[in-house]
Amino acid sequence: MKAIQAEKQLLESVKPFKLVKYLAISTLVVILVCAVILSGFISQKAKELLLKKSEQYALLVAENLNHQVFYLFTLPTLITEGQIRLSDASQHERLDMVVKNTIHGLSVRNVNIYDKKEILVYSTGKGKIGSKGHLQGAFQSALKEVPVSVLSKGKTGFLGFQRKGGKEVLTTYMPMWVEKPLSWEKGRVLGVYEITQDITRDYKTIRRFQWIVALSFLLFVGILFSTILFIARRAERIITARSIEKHKLEGKLHQSERLASLGEMIAGVSHEIRNPLGIIRSTAELLDSRVESERLRKFSSIIVEESTRLNDILTEFLDFAGPQTPRPVPCRIEDILDRNLFVLEAECNRLGISILKHYQTGDYSLEADQEMLYRAFVNIFANALQAMPDGGFLSVHTAISNGRNGASIVEIQVQDSGCGISEEALKKIFNPFFTTRENGTGLGLAIVRTIVDNHSGEIEVASEAGQGAVVIIRLPLTQPEFEIERET
């Protein structure tokens, strides 16, 4: 009876651990499968980057080739002989010399030239001169000045692993045009270049990297599995011995950790991008108002539109996700405000918004992080402008006063004549992701409050629906942490 009871106790003690072992094995299998999938994903992305690089390389080759052919062959031939006849051996030889000298040393396998009727008029390979090509849509796109690249792949195996014997050839079709001296504009299209690149070697490098990643993960999983298996067997022996001796291992694991923040993912990126982006946008708007060319005006409009979209994304999301640790230096709040208002000048003029500045601070020095305060006022001014789509006024007032503890503070008031904020919404405006706009993210004022709090300051918003709004920020002239460091 004692032996039976001991055996039952042994089985009862071993079964839970076997379950853990099986779960560990299942987890390792999942890790291995994910590793193989990840290596395939990385390889695919690398191939896409390689393809894009090769396409750009082919376009540069084609532009250089077009320039050389036009000035070294087409133009001289027309001047001296009056017309181009590639059936003439001397002309064909000159063209061949120009093309081969241009692509010499470059990663170009073959160059074909077709006329506008899709007739092959020149080839560095074994193409039959005078034959009609069968390029279909690629040829027509190239005639319309839209370059097209076609990749011919070898045989692809499981998860992007390439089989042996395959070759990757990238063929790019680009228009052949008349060069205009001293001008970036292109003349009329004369034909189509067909440029072929053999990128098999680059693909082999990517495949080798893919195998290295997969095998490295396999080795890692194998070592991890062996370690876990060794530990599992040793633990089984310990549990068996304790079960036989009627000593059960009792333990309780308590996990009390909780995730408390969104983490540092992309902090520090926004202030590096937003400042030049604002300059790009304002410069593009200024350019749009001065240029007369419709073509250039179209490009400047695209720049304005895209820079506005990027600025919204950066302001609303990247700032909120980044760490908010100020690095205070002596500065003046008016300099920061003027910097913001200068960037917004073009937008205010477009919306018909008048800017009123009332600086009454006198001589003082503020210890603050200039970039963080700049980002905070970007959000405040952006909200003010969005509240005045039909124009109005934007008033900025600064003054020095005494705070609650008697220390001097600088007070900034930003007032707009917009649509105002309802009483219900006013209670929630600092909550992350709360917004009254359809396309808003609700992070702007949450970011502002975080920045102000990190400067030991205060912020409040006063408003009534239809009566505009005023944002009041109070900042101490000296930051406590900065003052301690300075004294030491």
| 387 HSE (CA, 13 A, CB side) | 27
75 contacts 92 by C-beta, under 8 angstroms: no
The whole-chain average pLDDT of the chain stands at 75
- Cα of first residue to Cα of last residue in the chain, in angstroms, is 78
Pick the CATH number of 23-207 from 3.30.450.20, 1.10.580.10, 3.40.640.10, 3.10.180.10: 3.30.450.20
Per-residue confidence band for 61, with pLDDT thresholds at 50, 70 and 90: confident
Structure-block tokens of residue 286: 């200024």
Selected residue with higher pLDDT from 143 and 258 = 143
d(CA 247, CA 3) in angstroms, rounded, equals 15
Phi and psi for 221 in degrees, rounded to 5?
Answer: -65, -40
Structure-block tokens of residue 463: 């408003």
Residue 20: which of 166, 177, 235, 184 has the closest Cα? 235
Q: Can you say whether residue 159 is alpha, beta or left, with left for phi > 0 and alpha for psi between -120 and 50 degrees?
A: left
Could you read off the pLDDT of 156-193 as tens digits, one per residue?
554 454 555 567 788 888 888 888 776 667 788 888 88
Q: How would CATH label the architecture of 327-487?
A: 2-Layer Sandwich (3.30)
Per-residue confidence band for 413, with pLDDT thresholds at 50, 70 and 90: very high
Could you read off the pLDDT of 226-251 as tens digits, one per residue?
777 777 777 777 766 666 666 544 53
Per-residue confidence band for 437, with pLDDT thresholds at 50, 70 and 90: low
Per-residue confidence band for 484, with pLDDT thresholds at 50, 70 and 90: very low
Can you state the angle between helices 370-386 and 444-454, rounded to 10 degrees?
Answer: 150
In the predicted structure, residue 121 carries a pLDDT above the cut 50: yes
How many residues are present in the chain? Answer: 488
Which residues have C-beta within 8 Å of that of residue 23, sequence separation ≥ 6?
A: none
Rg of the chain in Å (alpha carbons): 35
Per-residue confidence band for 96, with pLDDT thresholds at 50, 70 and 90: confident
340 contacts 292 by C-beta, under 8 angstroms: no
In the predicted structure, residue 422 carries a pLDDT above the cut 90: no
d(CA 119, CA 127) in angstroms, rounded, equals 11
Structure-block tokens of residue 109: 């396998």
**How crowded is residue 329: how many other Cβ atoms within 10 Å of its Cβ?**
12
